[in-house]
Structure 1
Amino acid sequence: MKKAVTLIDIAKACDTSNVTVSKALAGKSGVSDALREKIKQVADEMGYVGVKSTQNRRGNTIGVLIPSKFINPNGSFYWALYNALVTRLKKENMYCIMENLDQEDEDRLMLPHCIEDKQVSALISLGQLSKNYAKLLNDNVKDLVLLDYYVPSLDLDAVVTNGYSGGYKLASYLIKMGHKKIGYIGNKFATTSIFDRYMGYVKAMIEHGYEVNEKWRIDDRDKRDFITMTFPEDDMPTAFVCNCDEAAYRAIRQLRGMGYNVPEDISIVGYDNYLISEVSDPTITTINVDADYMADLAVMTLMDRMEEPDGKPRIITIEGDLVIKDSVKRI
């Protein structure tokens, strides 16, 4: 049986993004006339058939599962991602149901209600889940996409940022600003994204011949929530790479309570470029993550999976850009 042509196949052939291909084939704005015609021609030549047209997708309900520990009542990066998903799914005439997953239910391997009650036709899992729980979802959901994490031992579709590159960029910027004693804030075993960002930080430090001191790696969370950080009583680093803006914001507040000023005494950088990095005092130098683009890719990946159930799973990685603000001092 001939392998079905997907939007990603067309995107590769046209040297463009699958989001652009989707817009072109759907007749939406944001694509030049020349590129639109090229995409349509390539799609025809490749024999592309949209198995689920917009009309056929109408009424499909997609679940979005978010661990409760990632939901902050004052807002979080995951709220931004969820809102972007709702907007993108609406454009495809699909509904969206969000369900929070408590840690107890994850530990006990309890299926989400939206799956148990067959309320959704596919699922986007937003935020790190354990390998066992991700496997449970994969065994019970026909079409599944992981967003902002991946599970190395499972062949599942996923959309993630390049945390390794981001961690490297942040540490390299601090080094460029004269810092040599640089720590890392984040429980490196909590999520794949935190671990990847940590490894990028480690690469930059080793590359420049600087010490990676385990005493300067500070846990910011346990299995359930953020925790009070335990900083060294002496021999403090001059800067910290934080795994996310929320951790950076909390570190700034805690360090201030200990008598340290940021950036005068200690420099801090974060990750995500979420709202909290702007309301922080000082504003936080960070890596910008395009939530809208991540949501677009997640929905497109899910649609491809729905069109080609037996296709090879893909992990799609997007780059983030360094955004310089006020939380770093040159020394």
Structure 2
Amino acid sequence: MKNGVKMLDIATKLGVSVVTVSNALAGRDGVSEKMRRKICETAEKMGYKPSNTKSEKRRIAIPKIGKNVGILTSERFVGARGTFYWELTASISNQLSQLNICTVYECVTADSEKNAILPNMVTDNKVDGIIVIGQVHRSYIECLSKLTCPLMFVDFYDNRYNIDSVISDSFNGGYMLTDHLVAKGHRKIGFFGTLNATSSINDRYLGYVKCIMENELEFRKEWIIGDRNERGILFDKINFPEEMPTAFVCNCDETAFRVISALKSKGVRVPEDISVVGYDNYTVSSICIPTITTVEVDLSRMAEVSVGIMAKKLADPGYSEGRRIISGKLIEKESVLDINGSYSEERSDAV
């Protein structure tokens, strides 16, 4: 706008939220007549001129300068080489800073998570809202759910609690990976991931199961293999079943990388003997030999949506978005072998 007066300026002057100002100026419900008149009079005195541009619509929800948002991540997701969550955290932090919102980062230790000890940023009243990135234990969610400040989850959710969340489309991603293997001729497909460890693993597993069912393939319990302990720490050693499938769907690229390394140590070639797929399209999928076919998570979009929701919640503490699901896409690399025709050849040889 030419005169530079924004809804944020009006909201700051009157000590109300930008949403309240927007509703008042637009004639929407949710604002008392007395407050509506006060807002309209102030807007006129300040020389505010409404804009219909999309960019202005995006700006009206920006909270007041000086807000702080805490970002929490469990220590099990913080690795020496860096993790998927480091990049996601950095993207969210950068986008928050563009809205003049400062971020305070804190790692939740295993003891704090187990004993439901609130982070220092909360007990010291340093933040106005909290974004939790990566799964935390349900007992810790129970503790966080009692906070009065805006709260949201990124890359996980818990159906027991009505807390806003932004997640990747893990169910369809798991289905997509499994269906890709089926299209390449695989009929014996296993899954790597500890069930109930995270909501993402469960959803990817359920997508895998749906694809197995729809294609009427053999489901074997021994082909469902855990990759981490009850604390979420990845196992050092991977135990394979005596009879192996021709392919494995892994719940993340890190696990796929470890599975491929373990197979190589046993003299099993990937993908010549066994195909392996991962999830995330994170760094390890590209440095692995062979490179790992995976589902790419749109980190930038996840961060953008997460920041947008938190901005709205800071402007209006009563705002609720629900669950937002961000679609991913299949990235074909070198870890899958097309074995179409091999089963018919085996049957011909048998005859």
Instruction: Provide TM-score, normalisation by structure 1.
Output: 0.84
Alignment of 1:232 onto 2:241: yes
Query: One-letter code of the match for 1:181?
Result: K
Judge conservation of contact 1:123–1:141 (CA < 8 Å) in 2: no
CA distance in 2: counterparts of 1:37 and 1:274, whole angstroms: 39
Deviant stretches of 4+, over 3 Å: 4-7, 36-41, 48-53
The answer to whether the 8 Å contact 1:161/1:320 transfers is: yes
Q: State the alpha-carbon separation in 2 of the partners of residues 274 and 220 from structure 1.
A: 18
Aligned counterpart, 1:113:
120
Partner residue, 1:27 = none
Structure number with bigger Rg: 2
Name the CA distance, whole Å, in 2 between partners of 1:6 and 1:232. Answer: 62
User: Residues 40 and 326 of structure 1: is their aligned pair in 2 closer, same or farther, counting only changes over 3 Å?
Assistant: closer
Report whether the alignment pairs 1:260 with 2:263. no
Q: Deviations over 1:210-235 (max 9, x none)?
A: 022110011000123100222112x1
Residue in structure 2 matched with residue 316 of structure 1 by the alignment: 324
1:186 matched to 2:193? The reply is: yes
Partner residue, 1:126: 133
Q: Return 5+ residue gaps in structure 2 as ranges.
A: 1-18, 23-50, 340-351
Distance 1:52 1:86 in 2: 15
Q: Identity of aligned pairs, percent?
A: 36
- Does structure 2 conserve the Cα–Cα contact (< 8 Å) formed by 1:285 and 1:323? yes
User: SS state of the match for residue 140, structure 1?
Assistant: coil
Deviation per CA, 1:240-261: give whole Å up to 9, x if none. 0000000000100111111111
Matched residue count: 291
Does structure 1 residue 210 correspond to structure 2 residue 206?
no
Letter in 1 for 2:204: R
Q: State the partner residue of 1:221.
A: 228
Single out whichever of 126-135 and 157-166 deviates more from structure 2: 126-135
Cα gap change, 1:51 to 1:292, in 2 (>3 Å): closer
Secondary structure of the 2:208 match is helix
- Cα distance between partner residues in 2 of 1:178 and 1:229: 26
Give a deviation string over 1:42-83, Cα, whole Å, max 9, x none: x5xxxx994654xx2x22111100000011110110011011
After superposition, the C-alpha distances for 1:274-312 in whole angstroms (9 at most, x for unaligned) are 011000111000000111111111111111222232234
Q: Which of the numbers 237, 256, 265 marks the counterpart of 1:248?
A: 256
Deviation per residue, 1:128-165 (Å, 9 max, x gap): 01222112112124101100000111000000011000
What is the RMSD of the two structures over their aligned residues, measured on CA atoms?
A: 2.0
SS of the equivalent of 1:262 reads coil
1:62 pairs, out of 64, 69, 82, with 69
Question: For the Cα contact (< 8 Å) 1:88–1:296, is it kept in 2?
Answer: yes
> Quick check: 1:245–1:271 contact (8 Å CA) kept in 2?
yes
**Residue 325 (1) aligns with residue 336 (2):** no
| AA aligned opposite 1:325 | K
8 A Cα contact 1:125 1:146, kept in partner: yes
Label 1:240 to 1:5 Cα distance change in 2 as closer, same or farther (>3 A): farther
The DSSP-based 3-state class of the residue aligned with 1:171 is helix
1:5 Cα offset (Å): 8.1
Is the Cα contact below 8 Å between 2:188 and 2:217 reproduced in 1? yes
